[in-house]
Structure 1
Amino acid sequence: MHAGRRTTKWLWLWRSNPLRRHEDVLEAWLVLVVWTIIAVGGTLAGVVTAHAADSVFAQQRAERIPVAAVLVSDTTQPGAKSYYRALAKVSWTLPDGSSRTGNTLVDTGLKAGSHIVVYTDRQGELSTQPPSRSAADMEAAVLGTTAGLGVTGLALGAGALARVRLDRRRFRQWGSEWAMVGPKWGHKTG
């Protein structure tokens, strides 16, 4: 019986009540819809986004090929600031035997003629290194969480805006009803 009381209290906005207004019912449904959107929509957006990101990262790992390359220029420049990576010219050979050159970021401190690994796309053009499986999983999780939180934020914001509009409408109605009932309440003291 105690659980029945709690359920009745929780569902008070839907039961018959002479003091219940149309706006109260709208607000109850609004809260239900907002929380449903948060639970279902936020979860769905997060899962779909994480899955899509994971697919893109898997495709990048499949399409980008590691290729042995040779540095054409040094990565140390006299008088320059010491950075972790520097832009340098590299040369690599494609599987068909043709040779290509291009500029890419490589570790600093390497001399011309050093052997490095670069990544190319299927056309043999330089590309960035694809994310590792663990890095891709982490980034997909972050993107999925961000998408879920974005849907949650939008739902909460839209719900709050709708509740503000309902409150303004209730205040106007209370003001007009008080203007009609207030003078009938009798005498003034003093």
Structure 2
Amino acid sequence: MNTHGPRRDVGTHRPRAVARGRNPLRRRSDRIQSWCTVLFLLTLVCGVPFAALSVAGAAYDSQLRVVHAEEAARHRVTARLAEDPPDGPRGADGPSTRQARVRWTGPDGARHSGVATVTGGTRAGDAVLVWVDRAGALVRAPASASTARTVGWFTGALSAAAGLALTCAAQSRVRRALDRGRYARWEAEWKEVEPAWSGRNRR
């Protein structure tokens, strides 16, 4: 038989208000900052990657359309070097490229000429491949699919960096704004408490 009254659980228990997240020492600004921190973390984990991937995909699709348009509007023709490249024929540094005048005949039989980039080591009369548009004018080679992928990844990386910077800047501004409010309230409360605490009001 228990002669000491009803048994009580022994142990450390947090007050019910604290257990329910109603800590009286927790200010409204603290709750706002906690929710903002959660929002910023969700933005960093979910929002920034989603936005970066969306922008990267849009940039890739746009650049890929440019690639397809250039491929449809440009084609290669065989031309002949009208002159030796400026550095002379078949130099030791053959793999380098140079600018030289070339001539070619279009599908309609018309003769064309222009300055194109050719591989070093060629000489007058050699056959080279050049790119021309539908009007027969010399143009650069069309962009490739790898260029579209590079543009997409680069744009996505820039978007991710910008999103990260904006999120961190927003978090910093919110924290500073909340701190200014806390300091203002502390200063107002201190003006009320300090005279009684220091004894100035007893003079």
State the TM-score bracket (shorter-chain normalisation). Answer: 0.7 to 0.9
Given the alignment of the two structures, is residue 111 of structure 1 paired with residue 119 of structure 2, yes or no?
Answer: no
Q: What TM-score do you get using the length of structure 1 for normalisation? A: 0.75
Contact 1:74 1:109 in 2 (8 A): no
Residue among 174, 178, 182 paired with 1:170:
178
Given the alignment of the two structures, is residue 158 of structure 1 paired with residue 166 of structure 2, yes or no?
Answer: yes
Question: How far did residue 94 of structure 1 move?
Answer: 0.6
> What amino acid is the match of 2:103?
S
**Secondary structure in structure 1 of the residue aligned to 2:176:** helix
Question: Any stretches of 5+ residues in structure 1 without a counterpart?
Answer: 1-14
Give the whole-Å Cα distance in 1 for the aligned partners of 2:87 and 2:171.
Answer: 63
Residue among 61, 73, 79 paired with 1:69:
79
State the structure with more CA Rg: 2
**Secondary structure in structure 2 of the residue aligned to 1:105:** strand
Partner residue in 1 for 2:112:
100
Partner residue in 2 for 1:40:
50
Give the whole-Å Cα distance in 2 for the aligned partners of 1:16 and 1:123.
Answer: 77
Question: How far did residue 36 of structure 1 move?
Answer: 4.2
1:144-180 deviation digits (Å, cap 9, x = unpaired): 1111122212222222221121111122122122224
Contact 2:93 2:121 in 1 (8 A): no
Question: How far did residue 16 of structure 1 move?
Answer: 7.0
State the identity %. Answer: 22
Question: Any stretches of 5+ residues in structure 2 without a counterpart?
Answer: 1-20, 199-203
Partner residue in 2 for 1:49:
59
Contact 1:60 1:130 in 2 (8 A): yes
**Secondary structure in structure 2 of the residue aligned to 1:32:** helix
Q: What TM-score do you get using the length of structure 2 for normalisation? A: 0.71
Question: How far did residue 82 of structure 1 move?
Answer: 5.0
Give the whole-Å Cα distance in 2 for the aligned partners of 1:57 and 1:35.
Answer: 33
Residue among 130, 133, 140 paired with 1:128:
140
Cα 1:156/1:99, change in 2 over 3 Å = same
Q: How many residues align?
A: 169
Give the whole-Å Cα distance in 1 for the aligned partners of 2:22 and 2:133.
Answer: 67
Residue among 140, 144, 152 paired with 1:144:
152
Partner residue in 1 for 2:68:
58
Give the whole-Å Cα distance in 2 for the aligned partners of 1:47 and 1:41.
Answer: 10
